[in-house]
Structures are given as C-alpha cells and as structure tokens.
Amino acid sequence: MWNDLGYEGLLPSPNKRGRSPRLTDEDLENLRGILEFKDYWTRKEVAVLIKEVFMKKLSEDQVRRILMDELGMRLS
C-alpha cells in the first residue's frame, strides 16, 4: 500500500470495516428459523448446530454475540 499510495494508502478505507462476518445474512435468517423449533438452547448447542449446518466453527462467545447482537435474542 505504501509504495502505491503513500501516506493516503495507510488511512482507513470507508469501504473496509474489518473482517467479513462469519455467518451471512442468509445464514443468520436460517439460524433464526432453526432456533424457533426449540424453546431453550445452550450456547454450546448452538455452536454445534452452526458447525453441523453451516460448517463454520464458532466459540461460545461468538455465538453469544450473534444471538444477542445479530438476532436480538436475550440470554438467561
């Protein structure tokens, strides 16, 4: 970047906001639909579900963030 754009190449790009999400919007909607079939899920169960259905390994903390931030669910 430095060689091509100089100092300007080091500034944050408005188009780049970090790593792309592990689950797409479509994945999140599918996950929401699956979770509706059962009243109670543990984060560990959801992590296993995501690994089996979407073939993506997430930590329980990542699952918590997805459930709360992306899907607007409450945890107890």
| Residue boundaries of the structural domains of the chain | 23-76
Residue-by-residue DSSP string for 21-74: PSS-HHHHHHHHHHHTT-S---HHHHHHHHHHHH-----HHHHHHIIIIIS---
For the chain, which residues score pLDDT lower than 50? none
Smallest CA-to-CA distance from 49 within 68, 27, 73, 26 is with: 27
pLDDT at 20: 60
Model pTM score: 0.70
Model pLDDT, residue 44: 94
Can you give the pLDDT at residue 19? 66
- What pLDDT, on a 0 to 100 scale, did the predictor assign at position 8? 76
In this predicted structure, what is the pLDDT of residue 27? 95
